[in-house]
A and B are shown apart, each in its own frame.
Chain A
Amino acid sequence: MSNRLLPFYATLLIAVVAYGLCVMQFPNMFSTRVLGNLLTDNAFLGIAAVGMTFVIISGGIDLSVGSVIAFTGVLIAVLVGWYGFHPLVAFAIALLLSTLFGAGMGAIIHYLDVPAFIVTLAGMFLARGLSFVITTDSIPIGHEFYSTIQSLYWRMPGGGRLTVIGGLMLVVFLGGIVLAHFTRFGSYVYALGGNRQSAELMGVPVARTTVLIYALSGFLSGLAGVVFSIYTSAGYPLSAVGVELDTIAAVVIGGTLLTGGTGYVAGTLVGVAIQGIIQTYIVFDGTLSSWWTKIVVGILLFAFIALQRVLVLVSSRKAGALAPA
């Protein structure tokens, strides 16, 4: 249905227009340097948003994302700084824990039939609380592996730097697109979001898919935490507060229906980019408060939810006209 792609095209158009307007005002924004920074600065947000896209397409929600990012950051900082683990080992442990955490939430959602909102809200408090139990301070990470990884980049034409974490985000998006559209798991996710009961009657493994979706979101939140710790060289239990809401915003602005069933991982990338463009604009302007990002994101969200509502109404009216009484 071309209707289905409409929110995505709308987002793409808004992104292009917004970028165009910025460039008109600040020609310097048209450079790979800006692009490189944009990717680096939003890497953790983008990675977490890919997980959120799958969750929302399946008709669920994951509120634990920000807390899991903070928890992994703190855990890595403690493992590396206090116990002398190699960062790669710490990463592995953190990813394993966050994946299990997500899987556990998925299992509760499916087997106990509790709304995802409540389960992941509990998960959010749990992960945030755990980070505070470990430490209440910001722990710096001074390992040489960190400085190596931070200094690695690929110089794009025009002098922009594609950093490891920026590149990682692009890889995750690519992986997400393949997973969504070219695997059985991907079709199961859409099926769940379309109609859980029909999906079950058609033989979709509902239980396994639900657990895997939240495990994936947990894993990607963990990975976002790893990226965030590389980005900031520290672990702090108060970091990434409200990031889950930013990711939800990016997903919805990217054209994914909050009711599930339709959406594109690529749209989420555009959603993240729009948020990044606004931030960059504010930096370039220099006088605006950075909170303007939130205001614009808020306005965009309203606009997109209204657009989706209209589309749903239009298509349901069409379907209603066809259905027998």
Chain B
Amino acid sequence: MSTGEALVSAEKIIKSFLGLRVLDGVDFSVRPGEIHALLGENGAGKSTLIKILTGVHQPDGGTIRLRGTPVTVRDTGHAQELGVGTVYQEVNLLPNLSVAENLFIGRQPMRWGLVHRSEMEKRAKALLAQYDIDIDVSADLGRFSVAVQQLVAIARAVDLSGSVLILDEPTASLDRAEVETLFAILRRLRDRGMGIVFITHFLDQVYALCDRITVLRNGKLVGTREAAELPQVELVSMMLGRALAEATHGAEAERRSAPPSSGKRIEFSHYGRARSVAPFDLSIGAGEVVGVAGLLGSGRTETARLLFGLDAPDSGSLTIDGKPAKVLSPRAAVQLGFALCPEDRKTDGIVGDLSVRENIALALQARRGWLRRMPSREQAELADRFVKALDIRTSDIEKPVKFLSGGNQQKVVLARWLATNPRLLILDEPTRGIDVGAHAEIIALINRLCEEGLSLVVISSEIEEITAYSTRIRILRDREHRGELTGAEISPDNIMRAIAAQASASNEGASA
């Protein structure tokens, strides 16, 4: 371990939240004069690792070294004193303070014991000039676009960081020219000997900018490699957790024949929303499972939100069985027989303090309207039926859902929607964070529902899993639907190639 030359290194970092291990013995180091990409899917532990390095969280185990000396980073202020500047993902700054105050809060220039405003604003202007930003720095930050706010956050962090700069998804809201400006600055800082940690899900940016790449998956270190020696396809397989070499077996699993189309179809045509997903066509027949594959940030969840009316589309139309329909709110979607099991079960799915019975009855009750309350007896019957049908393991149906295991919580959410007898079920990462046994059961359930004639859209980053049940697979990248695999084309290999091939194609496009 070459800790001697590292600016900051984390060794064997362990961190658990509520008994769930989110970082499990992760090693990570930043050398002077390098840009180091930290990659991984959602829940891989990137943000937690950053928050441990910057003192937001304290590790349960492991050591952080600064130039070889073990340190305890007490809090964010302390991290700044140690020369580690950070732009966090969940932006960020304070919209109610002026731009200049945001840049200099806590270190405003003083004169006669008071803040020297004009001096502060002069410095703020000079600082932002490096980024080609010319704005009124005495105006409230909230007045400016998200991109400007993001650049201000970056300028602040760069200015603060003595030796290490951490950027968590800094380019998400920047356009191409702004990204180029930022990259030019980062390269300049690197050449000055600063160590930069760069978290992103744009693979082309990783190759355009970074020297080394570290990949995390499920809280574990997959590996750290030189960017120049790591082909994109291999990087994708590191992130998605599957070696290409072993991918050849079992691809010929029996494929469901294409369904007897026409008539009973839900058709989205040219459906899209600016800054969310580019317009796409999607047609789903009864008994079809459309898998959606793509890396984090490729527009997977955005697609689900659009289909379910959480975000209103700004282009396109929808027809159900040939008749035009509109889905502008989840409520309208439920009326049409749509259902969505969201990605973040804990915050968007279950109501933790309510019982299993109440959680299952929720959607059906919502559809009936609040005036016609479902009698408890009817709710109990419903709950009993689904507890049996889906094999939900709970001591009784009055137990608060938060005490159930992840897999059983997921089944409760599924039961809630199945109770409404939906015709289109959208599942966003249905198997995330649940144990292997429950995993298999959910997959079996998806297959069964499909045989019963339900239409399903399943979003998953588990490639093996998605190949197991999909009739067709959508490939997403950069918030666009880039292609579709059907029938015999569906194999983990092909999916990975499709994602990576397009990645390198657009990478060449970017560098050209």
Residues on A close to B: CB < 8 A? 1, 4, 178, 181-184, 186-188, 190-191, 193-195, 198-205, 261-262, 315, 319, 322-325
Q: How far is the CB of B276 from chain A (nearest CB, A)?
A: 4
Whether B184 sits at the interface, judged by CB under 8 Å, is: no
Whether B302 sits at the interface, judged by CB under 8 Å, is: yes
Which A residues touch B77, using CB under 8 A? 203-205
Contact check, B276 vs A325: say whether CB atoms are below 8 A apart: yes
Whether B146 sits at the interface, judged by CB under 8 Å, is: yes
Q: How far is the CB of A225 from chain B (nearest CB, A)?
A: 28
User: Looking at chain B's contact residues, is the secondary structure mostly helix, strand, loop, or mixed?
Assistant: loop
Which B residues touch A205, using CB under 8 A? 77, 106
Contact check, B76 vs A324: say whether CB atoms are below 8 A apart: no
Contact check, B146 vs A200: say whether CB atoms are below 8 A apart: no
Contact check, A261 vs B96: say whether CB atoms are below 8 A apart: yes
**Residue in B closest to A257 when the chains form the complex, CB atoms:** B96
Contact check, B302 vs A325: say whether CB atoms are below 8 A apart: yes
Contact check, A4 vs B140: say whether CB atoms are below 8 A apart: yes
Which A residues touch B143, using CB under 8 A? 1
Besides A1-B143, A201-B56, 11 other A-B contacts (C-beta < 8 A): A1-B139, A190-B94, A191-B105, A193-B96, A194-B97, A198-B91, A201-B86, A202-B94, A203-B77, A324-B276, A325-B276
Q: A7–B228 Cα gap in the complex (Å)? A: 58
Whether B3 sits at the interface, judged by CB under 8 Å, is: no
- Which of A4, A203, A262 counts the most chain B CB atoms within 10 A? A203
Among B95, B115, B139, B302, contact of A194 (Cβ-Cβ < 8 Å): B95
Contact check, B142 vs A319: say whether CB atoms are below 8 A apart: yes
Contact check, B140 vs A1: say whether CB atoms are below 8 A apart: yes
Whether B177 sits at the interface, judged by CB under 8 Å, is: no
A190-B94, A319-B142 known; A204-B105 Cβ under 8 A: yes
**Residue in B closest to A195 when the chains form the complex, CB atoms:** B94
Contact check, A201 vs B105: say whether CB atoms are below 8 A apart: no
Name the interface residues of B96-149: CB closer than 8 Å to any CB of A: 96-97, 101-102, 105-106, 108, 114-115, 117, 139-140, 142-143, 145-146
Name the interface residues of B79-100: CB closer than 8 Å to any CB of A: 80, 86, 88, 91-97
Which B residues touch A1, using CB under 8 A? 139-140, 142-143
Contact check, A323 vs B114: say whether CB atoms are below 8 A apart: no
Residues on B close to A: CB < 8 A? 56, 75-77, 80, 86, 88, 91-97, 101-102, 105-106, 108, 114-115, 117, 139-140, 142-143, 145-146, 156, 172-173, 273, 275-276, 302, 305, 311
A-B contact pairs, 7 of them (CB 8 A): A195-B94, A200-B76, A201-B76, A202-B102, A203-B77, A319-B95, A325-B305
Q: How far is the CB of B126 from chain A (nearest CB, A)?
A: 20
**Residue in B closest to A184 when the chains form the complex, CB atoms:** B108
Which A residues touch B80, using CB under 8 A? 203
Contact check, A178 vs B94: say whether CB atoms are below 8 A apart: no
Among A4, A184, A191, contact of B94 (Cβ-Cβ < 8 Å): A191
- Which of B117, B143, B311 counts the most chain A CB atoms within 10 A? B143
Q: How far is the CB of B76 from chain A (nearest CB, A)?
A: 5
**Residue in B closest to A324 when the chains form the complex, CB atoms:** B275
Q: A1–B95 Cα gap in the complex (Å)? A: 10
Among B95, B115, B276, contact of A184 (Cβ-Cβ < 8 Å): B115
Which B residues touch A195, using CB under 8 A? 94-95
Which A residues touch B311, using CB under 8 A? 325
Q: How far is the CB of A55 from chain B (nearest CB, A)?
A: 16
Among A202, A319, A322, contact of B106 (Cβ-Cβ < 8 Å): A202
Q: How far is the CB of A191 from chain B (nearest CB, A)?
A: 5
- Which of A182, A190, A191, A202 counts the most chain B CB atoms within 10 A? A202
Contact check, A178 vs B114: say whether CB atoms are below 8 A apart: yes
Q: A190–B140 Cα gap in the complex (Å)? A: 12
Q: A322–B144 Cα gap in the complex (Å)? A: 9
Q: A319–B148 Cα gap in the complex (Å)? A: 13
Q: A183–B101 Cα gap in the complex (Å)? A: 11
Give 7 nearest A-B pairs by CB, closest first. A194-B94, A194-B96, A203-B77, A325-B276, A261-B96, A182-B114, A324-B275
Q: A191–B106 Cα gap in the complex (Å)? A: 10
Contact check, B105 vs A188: say whether CB atoms are below 8 A apart: yes
A199-B94, A201-B88 known; A322-B76 Cβ under 8 A: no
Contact check, B172 vs A198: say whether CB atoms are below 8 A apart: no
Contact check, B173 vs A191: say whether CB atoms are below 8 A apart: no
Contact check, A262 vs B96: say whether CB atoms are below 8 A apart: yes
Which B residues touch A190, using CB under 8 A? 94, 96-97, 101
**Residue in A closest to B111 when the chains form the complex, CB atoms:** A182
Q: A14–B97 Cα gap in the complex (Å)? A: 27
A201-B88, A204-B105, A204-B106 known; A183-B96 Cβ under 8 A: no
Among A182, A191, A203, A261, contact of B117 (Cβ-Cβ < 8 Å): A182
Q: A131–B75 Cα gap in the complex (Å)? A: 41
Q: A181–B114 Cα gap in the complex (Å)? A: 9
Which A residues touch B108, using CB under 8 A? 184, 187
A322-B145, A324-B172, A325-B276 known; A184-B106 Cβ under 8 A: yes
Contact check, B105 vs A325: say whether CB atoms are below 8 A apart: no
Contact check, A183 vs B115: say whether CB atoms are below 8 A apart: yes
Contact check, B142 vs A198: say whether CB atoms are below 8 A apart: no
**Residue in A closest to B105 when the chains form the complex, CB atoms:** A187
Q: A191–B102 Cα gap in the complex (Å)? A: 9
- Which of A178, A184, A201 counts the most chain B CB atoms within 10 A? A201
Contact check, A187 vs B101: say whether CB atoms are below 8 A apart: yes
Q: A205–B74 Cα gap in the complex (Å)? A: 12
Q: A201–B305 Cα gap in the complex (Å)? A: 30
Q: A202–B97 Cα gap in the complex (Å)? A: 13
Which B residues touch A182, using CB under 8 A? 114-115, 117
A203-B77, A204-B106 known; A325-B96 Cβ under 8 A: no
Q: A183–B109 Cα gap in the complex (Å)? A: 10
Q: How far is the CB of B5 from chain A (nearest CB, A)?
A: 28
Contact check, A202 vs B93: say whether CB atoms are below 8 A apart: yes
**Residue in A closest to B302 when the chains form the complex, CB atoms:** A325
Q: A190–B108 Cα gap in the complex (Å)? A: 15
Q: How far is the CB of B182 from chain A (nearest CB, A)?
A: 17
Q: A173–B342 Cα gap in the complex (Å)? A: 52
Which A residues touch B139, using CB under 8 A? 1
Q: How far is the CB of A199 from chain B (nearest CB, A)?
A: 7
Which B residues touch A262, using CB under 8 A? 96
Which A residues touch B75, using CB under 8 A? 200
- Which of A184, A188, A205 counts the most chain B CB atoms within 10 A? A184
Which B residues touch A322, using CB under 8 A? 145-146
**Residue in B closest to A263 when the chains form the complex, CB atoms:** B96
Which A residues touch B305, using CB under 8 A? 325
Which B residues touch A319, using CB under 8 A? 95, 142
Which A residues touch B140, using CB under 8 A? 1, 4
A199-B94, A261-B96, A319-B142 known; A187-B76 Cβ under 8 A: no
Contact check, A198 vs B94: say whether CB atoms are below 8 A apart: yes
Contact check, A202 vs B76: say whether CB atoms are below 8 A apart: yes
Which A residues touch B97, using CB under 8 A? 187, 190-191, 194
Q: A201–B96 Cα gap in the complex (Å)? A: 16
